[in-house]
Structure 1
Amino acid sequence: MREIKYIPVIFILAYLSYVDLKKREVPDFAVIVLFIYSLFFISNLKESLLMAGIVFILLMITSLISSRSIGGGDIKLLTVLAFFMGKDFSMLALPMFVLLIFSLIYGILKGKGLRHYVPLVPYVFLSYIFYLILEVFSWNLHFLY
């Protein structure tokens, strides 16, 4: 079963989401565990390195331009997740964007404005779950034909 490799990642992201919500931090040890785990399951090293590099550079530029709007732990986590997922990492973008838009709308409606803190890891976790649901659905459709 292909989807078995995703189960530990779900647990790591769930743990990191909890910590990010409670302490507003992303523990390095969990990101390192995810990186080590990903070394055993990547299918294309060049693709994984390229995607991780692109994500890291884009997030660092965003962080520097917009006064550290994204934390270092988030950058490390998203870079490692990009390394693990390779080109599929782009599938996390749409659900994360939609969730962040809803969070911004919530902040505006509650009078917090656009500059309120939003823990990013729970959005990454929910986007990853959405991605897996789509993957499993597409695998099942593939077997029907």
Structure 2
Amino acid sequence: MLVFKNLIFILTIIYAGYIDFKKKIIPDRVHVIIMLSSLLIDFNLCQSITGLLFLPIPFILSVFFNEDTVGGGDIKIVGAIGFFLGLRKGTIAIIIGLTISVIFNLFIFNKNRNDSFPLAPYIAIGSFLSLLIFSF
């Protein structure tokens, strides 16, 4: 059953990353599916609530300083990932995802710091890797 839960999560974040890459929007059903799938098995309410509340804080703060930094869908998906993975795994997922996004967008794609790019594909990669790392 745990494999089924993780499979739903992985497929949902892949879908979110793909849609964000193509249309620069993350559908609301993505967040709901991620949060509902976390309830299936091996659910820890304390870890889920702390991940949901604390993981999106840096993204919310960045919006206060500059409205064009992070989209609302990115903040919601980070919260949903925090609910699914918890604070520790979620923090690792976000660090991995943001590191990959900086490497790809600044160094490989040679984008300017002010250019916009979809964040969900990188967060999805970081979440998958975090789930994979902590599964063993």
Scaled by the length of structure 2, what TM-score is found?
0.85
Q: Which aligned pairs between 1:49-88 and structure 2 lie closer than 5 A?
A: 49-87=49-87, 88=89
- Please state if 1:9 is matched with 2:9: yes
Shift of the alpha carbon at 1:98? Answer: 2.0
Contact 1:42 1:84 in 2 (8 A): no
In 2: Cα distance, 1:32 partner to 1:81 partner: 11
Contact 1:41 1:84 in 2 (8 A): no
Match of 2:25 in 1: 25
Contact 1:42 1:48 in 2 (8 A): no
Gap runs ≥5 in structure 2: none
Shift of the alpha carbon at 1:81? Answer: 0.8
Query: Measured at CA, do residues 70 and 41 of structure 1 come closer, stay the same or move farther in structure 2, by a change above 3 Å?
Result: farther
Query: Greater helix percent: which structure?
Result: 1
Match of 2:92 in 1: 91
Scaled by the length of structure 1, what TM-score is found?
0.81
- Please state if 1:133 is matched with 2:135: no
Q: Runs in 1 of length 4+ with deviation above 3 angstroms?
A: 1-4
- The one-character-per-residue Cα deviations of 1:71-109 (angstroms, maximum 9, x if unpaired) are 0011011101101111321121332132122112235x3
What CA RMSD, in Å, does the superposition of the two structures yield over aligned residues?
1.9
Gap runs ≥5 in structure 1: 140-145
Q: Percent identity?
A: 24
Structure number with larger C-alpha Rg: 1
